[in-house]
Amino acid sequence: MPIADSCVSGGRLMKRFVAFAAVLFLTSSVPILLGQTTTVTKSNDQEAEKELRRLNDEEIQAFLQKDPDAMARLWSDDLVVTNPLNKFVNKQAVLGMVKSGFLVITSYTRNIEYIRIYGDTAIVAGNEEVVWGGRMPNAGKTEHLRFTGIWMRQGGRWQQVARHANIVPEQVSSSSVQSGSAHTLPAANSPAKPLLLEQNEGELRTRRPRPQPSPASQFTLNVGPKINGSEHFVVGTEQIAQGASIPTHKHQTEDELLLIHSGTAHVVLGEQERDLHAGGLVFIPANTWIGLKNVSSESLDLTFVFSAPGFDDFQRCISVPAGDTPAPMTEAELRACQQQGHMITGMPIPRGTDYEHGAGTP
């Protein structure tokens, strides 16, 4: 074989060897690179889980220490919550309940059973044991909850964006069901005091003067935590003068029932609008806009019933016991009272209704 041909053949063999070696290197490196990526991802998830557990511990301490500022840092501004009272609320509503003393937790343990990381989103779920305080309907009672929280990494830090919690019903044994003990009456040592009241009995209070006109100068509180120890109801009465109104507003955490005893009310409730007369009834779910005006030639006599304490704090905040001299309120004081009573105002005046006091509050 000529020397030239031998060199050409040797060159081809060398090129083939180099190509084979390159392919071998690349194919052997892929599993290594994939393994490194998996290791990094797993490490990042472990760090995220560690951080989420720490933040959940901070959230518990924030509730126990009644620290709304710490809660605000842990929660996204668009946080939404379905709470154990079966209410759908946002961040500001929860913070308002904490600041007003309505939402208090005196003992709180959380057992995280599940954490799953999806990039910048995480699901945290488990069970909780809480002892309610403040003005919660079950204050003093221990309850077990199931919860799911959604967290997102925003701006380099994790914040909770959604939470659902429900009360786990107590287990009832088959023997108790058969004996009927699962349907026993409430305990005789309930803190609420039974009441029998005439129309003019109760705690009469006078509203403090304020920038906008009031629907009535006085009202009466008949049932509530500070009246008879009721943990579940607030009941009161008032008389709305001819032409006066209760401007549109809504209650964030309590359902309300209005009973009309005399007069005619033009009522706007959510998307509904109509006149109601003596004997009429208005049911107002929490977070539903409500406004009414006395369109009759007589006083509009009302009884209001709330499903939980809260609004009574607002009513006391804006009034004094009858006989005392009421000091005028500033706009800032009025807004603070509204927050204390879980109330929101500011919906546009309803269509077709000439609310003379539409800029005011109840």
> pLDDT by residue (tens digit) across 36-72?
555 556 777 889 999 999 999 999 999 999 999 999 9
Q: What is the DSSP letter of 183?
A: G
Last-in-domain residue among 167, 186, 212: 167
**Do 210 and 307 belong to one domain?**
yes
**Do 116 and 246 belong to one domain?**
no
Residue 175 lies in a domain: no
**Do 286 and 209 belong to one domain?**
yes
CA nearest to 235, candidates 157, 295, 309, 174: 309
| Tokens representing residue 125 in the block | 């779920």
What's the start-to-end Cα distance of the chain, in Å? 111
CATH number at residue 154: 3.10.450.50
Residue 150 lies in a domain: yes
Q: Are 251 and 342 in contact (CB under 8 A)?
A: yes
Residue 32 lies in a domain: no
CA nearest to 108, candidates 75, 63, 67: 63
| Helix or strand run (H / E) with residue 51 | helix 3-64
Q: Do you know the residue count of the chain? A: 362
**Do 219 and 264 belong to one domain?**
yes
CA nearest to 339, candidates 149, 133, 93: 93
> Which residue segment(s) compose the domain that 128 sits in?
39-167
How many other CB atoms sit within 10 Å of the CB of residue 194? 6
**Do 136 and 54 belong to one domain?**
yes
Residue 7 lies in a domain: no
**Do 135 and 250 belong to one domain?**
no
Q: Are 74 and 181 in contact (CB under 8 A)?
A: no
Say what the pLDDT of residue 40 is: 56
Using alpha carbons, list the distances in angstroms from residue 58 to 28, 42, 92, 283.
46, 24, 19, 39
Instruction: Domain count for the chain, please give it.
Output: 2
Is pLDDT larger for residue 46 or for residue 22? 46
Residue 187 lies in a domain: no
Last-in-domain residue among 120, 144, 167: 167
Q: Are 112 and 124 in contact (CB under 8 A)?
A: yes
Q: Are 255 and 262 in contact (CB under 8 A)?
A: no
Q: Is the pLDDT of residue 197 over 80?
A: yes
* 221 contact partners, CB below 8 Å, separation of at least 6: 202, 203, 205, 227, 234, 235, 236, 312, 315, 316
Average pLDDT, the chain: 81
CATH number at residue 312: 2.60.120.10
**Do 223 and 339 belong to one domain?**
yes
Q: Is 129 strand, coil or helix?
A: strand
Say what the pLDDT of residue 15 is: 59
Is pLDDT larger for residue 362 or for residue 251? 251
Angle at 160 between CA 155 and CA 165, to 5 degrees: 170
Q: Is the pLDDT of residue 170 over 50?
A: yes
| Helix or strand run (H / E) with residue 128 | strand 121-134
**Which has the minimum average pLDDT: 163-167, 176-180, 335-339?**
176-180
